[in-house]
Amino acid sequence: MNLLGSRSQHPGWPQPVGPLRVAAGVVRLRPVRLRDAAQWSRIRLADRNHLEPWEPSTDLDWQLRHAVSSWPSVCSGLRAEARKGRMLPYVIEVDGQFAGQLTIGNVTHGALRSAWIGYWVASELIGGGIATAALALGLDHCFGPVMLHRVEATVRPENAPSRAVLAKAGFREEGLLKRYLDVDGAWRDHLLVALTIEEINGSVTSALVRAGHASWA
Ligand code: ACO
């Protein structure tokens, strides 16, 4: 049995990741859990304007989708994907408090050994290096315990803060995916960025520390 009370076939899961210190505090990644409901719902309901322009559209109403009562099924769905080895759904914690989410998805082993990565941070905490630290921790986890070779991400060209975060982690642009994803009610272009293990020079977190963006906690 693992920490989440069920068997996992997943290298690197459900290990927590971190810590790393940035201006906002000490950042860690840990698996999503059922008791995140109140914090998740409070932030997601308050931050609709901050989050909705960058997230895939759904038919469900934002209020309903982010009610406290919606979390158990969202969380169980994420944990089920994790147990199957397809996803690593993490909460980003800062000084032990829920600050956002980082998700590693479409995990593939064999000759591809690839995944995508995505994240969000509560608006009240932005600008303190949290996403940068979380992404660096997530990437080192992917290239270490999860044993991946390539991690990719997609981002809208208009999303300047997220592009800055991806650039600090060393992501390389591979192209523009035209009308790639239905986001905020329309088919939006996305930049495809990627990183392979050969490009990280040992560790993404170490590179952040060397560049003065973070320090060891
Ligand atoms: N133009 C250019 N750069 C900007 C702007 C702007 N308007 N605003 C902020 N930035 C820069 C900051 O200066 C900082 O870079 P720096 O450290 O080099 O100065 C960077 O953006 C932000 O870095 P962090 O502080 O590490 O990031 P933060 O914790 O603020 O989180 C995030 C950034 C995740 C994009 C947050 O704003 C958020 O949750 N946005 C809404 C959801 C979202 O966009 N998620 C990402 C989707 S794409 C994906 O997941 C791959």
Does residue 130's CB lie within 6 angstroms of at least one atom of ligand 1? yes
- Structure confidence at residue 7 (pLDDT): 55
Domains and CATH numbers, the chain: 15-214 (3.40.630.30)
Distance CA 39, CA 167 (A): 29
* Average pLDDT score over residue span 58-82: 97
Does residue 45's CB lie within 6 angstroms of at least one atom of ligand 1? no
Does residue 99's CB lie within 6 angstroms of at least one atom of ligand 1? no
Q: Which of 102, 103, 120, 180 to mutate to test the pocket of ligand 1 (most atoms within 8 A of CB)?
A: 120
Atom 8 in ligand 1: residue holding the nearest Cα: 161
Task: Check pLDDT > 90 for residue 56.
Answer: yes
Q: Are strands 150-155 and 114-121 parallel, antiparallel or unpaired?
A: parallel
CA of 1 to the centre of ligand 1 (A): 37
Helix (H, G, I), strand (E, B) or coil at 144: coil
Does residue 51's CB lie within 6 angstroms of at least one atom of ligand 1? yes
Atom 48 in ligand 1: residue holding the nearest Cα: 155
Instruction: Provide CB contacts within 8 A for 60, sequence distance 6+.
Output: none
Tokens encoding 138: 């997530």
Q: Predicted confidence band at 8 (pLDDT cuts at 50, 70, 90)?
A: low
CA of 99 to the centre of ligand 1 (A): 14
CA of 84 to the centre of ligand 1 (A): 31
Asked if 104 and 86 count as a contact pair (C-beta separation under 8 A), the reply is no
pTM above 0.75, yes or no: yes
Task: Check pLDDT > 50 for residue 4.
Answer: no
- Structure confidence at residue 1 (pLDDT): 44
* Average pLDDT score over residue span 57-84: 97
Question: What digits encode the pLDDT tens for the residues 76-133?
Answer: 999 999 999 999 999 999 999 999 999 999 999 999 999 999 999 999 999 999 999 9
- Structure confidence at residue 85 (pLDDT): 95
CA of 131 to the centre of ligand 1 (A): 7
Distance CA 38, CA 31 (A): 16
- Structure confidence at residue 46 (pLDDT): 98
CA of 120 to the centre of ligand 1 (A): 9
